[in-house]
Amino acid sequence: MRTQVAIIGAGPAGLLLGHLLRAEGIDVTIVERQTPDYILGRIRAGVLERTTTDLMTRLGLDERMKREGLLHSGFFLADGERLIHIDIAELIGRHVTVYGQTELTRDLMSAADERGLTILYGASDVALGDVDSDAPFVTFSMDGRAQRLDCDFICGCDGFHGPSRQAIPASVQRVFDKQYPFGWLGILADVPPCTEELIYANHERGFALASMRSPTRSRYYIQVPLGEPVDNWPDERLWDELAIRLGPEAGSRIVRGPAIEKSVAPLRSFVSEPMRHGRLFLAGDAAHIVPPTGAKGLNLAASDVAYLSEALTGWYRRGDADGIAGYSDRALARVWKSERFSWQLTRLMHRFPDTDAFDRRMQVAEMDYIAGSAAAQTAIAENYVGLPL
Ligand code: RFL
Ligand code: PHB
């Protein structure tokens, strides 16, 4: 088999990139390990930046997102009894859109056939070959048969655990890794949300987040120790804990219901540099992870592929190699700013096992500052809606 651009991974990064390249007439094949149902069963991101929704608009795939997505003009930071409103629309003049990653992925998957985007699901043993030559290739097995896909470029959009990052020699790779001593236990339930806007709460028992997917579907998270078994949290115990951590006002408005999904995700900050090696590019979680506190992971995947599609289009349209050469630096500049924001918000909103009296006073002082400073609120809002591309 032959294609111009081989993409590994049909998550948001791979699917968005595939569509952006197809829109420029570039031939693309995506090789994905899982089945479509498995991918659509992963409950992840909920908040989309304007940069991400603009890409869906550019692709003409925003019809359902515009109809069903919830435009949010602000969110709350809670600290004990205090609620600080970050009015992003007032401060920055932009909104974010609450639309699940699952829905975005579904829209991109459904449009693949009509746009000529080939996706090979169920590929096992995916491996990358000759990435630093002019003739890279991808091998895999499908239906028990060995396959080889020759291409001009490989885009590694295969998430944190995929093979693409490993294809970059350790001698040229620099890894930055920070693991947090806690995870988020998430619950999805078909009940109305307790709040119209998201609430990020720093409570003495640990962080909690009230989020949603629609007016009838809620998504909540609580901070739990690393390695906490989900079975320790039967639904009722989790609802009780959320009611405490979200504070009396929001807590009393919680509507309880059976969990549709419940899982624990560890928190991590991670960057692998560079994001290009020869004819291999990394994008999204394959290259970097942010803790979910800033709602940046999916949005960073989207900005990476916006840059990457521009670089590859320049190559195919004009023979311009500058975009390709500059991709890694350009993407990393934005990645590190999102890493900073996600790390800072994580530190501010969580109770760490070693938080001492001084650290706690620092959190309170920072909350005081944010509560009383339009400049501080603007800085948070500017990052939350997404820095410009
Ligand atoms: P993905 O989504 O992991 O997709 C990678 C794809 O590659 C496939 N793959 C392989 N294919 C072939 N061969 C192999 N060997 C392969 N290995 C893997 C996988 O099957 C998969 O289909 O990475 P991508 O596309 O870079 O997208 C990244 C986002 O998924 C991620 O950053 C976000 O979900 C992070 N995130 C959030 N991001 C936001 O922007 N806003 C949010 O509100 C937000 N909330 C969250 C989140 C992530 C969470 N978890 C569970 C980590 C909340 C949570 C709880
Ligand atoms: C979610 O709804 O899943 C969500 C929202 C905001 C975050 C993280 C996750 O910061």
CATH of the domain at 325: 3.50.50.60
Q: Where are the alpha helices (DSSP H) in 84-179?
A: 88-92, 101-110
In degrees, rounded to 5, the angle at the alpha carbon of residue 65 between the alpha carbons of residues 62 and 67 is 110
Ligand 2 atom 1: residue of nearest CA: 46
Which residues have CB under 6 Å of ligand 2?
A: 45-47, 198, 211, 219, 292-293, 295
| CA-nearest residue, atom 7 of ligand 2 | 295
Same domain, 43 and 100: yes
The amino acid at residue 194 is C
Residue 78 placed within a domain: no
Residue nearest to atom 44 of ligand 1 (CA): 45
Tens digits of residue pLDDT in 97-145? 999 999 999 999 999 999 999 999 999 999 999 999 999 999 999 999 9
* Ligand 1 nearest-atom number relative to CA 186: 55
Q: Do 262 and 272 share a domain, yes or no? A: no
Nearest Cα residue to 271 out of 336, 318, 214? 336
Query: What is the rounded CA–CA span in Å between residue 204 and residue 81?
Result: 11
Whether 82 is covered by a domain: the verdict is: no
Q: What's the pLDDT tens digit per position in 233-286?
A: 999 999 999 999 999 999 999 999 999 999 999 999 999 999 999 999 999 999
> What are the beta bridge partners of residue 155?
7, 281
Judge contact between 304 and 331, C-beta under 8 A: yes
At 81 the pLDDT is 82
Do the domain assignments include residue 277? yes
Pocket residue to mutate for ligand 1, from 32, 42, 44, most atoms within 8 A of Cβ? 44
- What is the pLDDT at residue 296? 97
In a domain, 295, yes or no: yes
Query: Residue 267: nearest ligand to its CA?
Result: 1
Catalytic residues: 72, 200, 292, 296, 384
Q: Is the same domain home to 13 and 116?
A: yes
Three-state DSSP class for residue 151: coil
**53 and 126: one domain?**
yes
Q: 201 and 220: one domain?
A: yes
One domain for residues 341 and 375:
no
Q: How many CB atoms lie within 10 A of CB 179?
A: 13
Cβ count within 10 A of residue 365: 10
Residue 362 located in a structural domain: yes
Per-residue confidence (pLDDT) for residue 43, from 0 to 100: 85
275 lies in the same domain as 364: no
Pair 187, 235: CB distance under 8 Å: yes
Kindly tell me the number of DSSP H helices and DSSP E strands found in the chain.
12, 20
Instruction: State the distance from the centre of ligand 2 to the C-alpha of 147, rounded, in angstroms.
Output: 38
Domain extent, residue 197, equals: 180-267+354-385
283 domain-assigned:
yes
State whether the beta carbon of 18 lies less than 6 angstroms from ligand 1: no
Are residues 173 and 185 located together in one domain of the fold? Answer: no
Ligand nearest to the CA of 162: 1
Give the distance (Å) from ligand 1 centre to CA of residue 159: 6
The number of domains in the chain is 2
Q: Which of 175, 173, 177 is nearest to 280 (CA)?
A: 173
Q: Is 150 found in the same domain as 62?
A: yes
53 domain-assigned = yes
- Let me know if residue 133 belongs to a domain: yes
Ligand 2 atom nearest 98 alpha carbon:
2
285 and 230 in one domain? no
Q: Which ligand is nearest to the CA of 42?
A: 1
> Which residue type sits at 127?
A
Q: Is the dihedral of CA 109, 114, 117, 123 positive or negative?
A: positive
- pTM comes to 0.97
Q: Does residue 374 share a domain with residue 241?
A: yes
Which of 293, 304, 315 has the alpha carbon at shortest distance from 223? Answer: 293
- β-pairing verdict for 199-203 and 174-189: unpaired
Give dist(CA 94, CA 100) in Å, integer: 19
Pair (372, 336) in one structural domain:
no
Which amino acid appears at position 383 of this protein? Answer: N
What atom in ligand 1 is closest to the CA of residue 31? 12
Q: Are strands 137-142 and 145-150 parallel, antiparallel or unpaired?
A: antiparallel
339/99 Cα distance (integer angstroms): 22
What is the CATH number for 260? Answer: 3.30.9.10
State which amino acid sits at residue 378.
T
Among 148, 101, 82, residue whose Cα is nearest residue 364: 82
Task: Look up residue 114 and give its DSSP letter.
Answer: G
In this prediction, the residues of the chain whose per-residue pLDDT falls under 70 are none
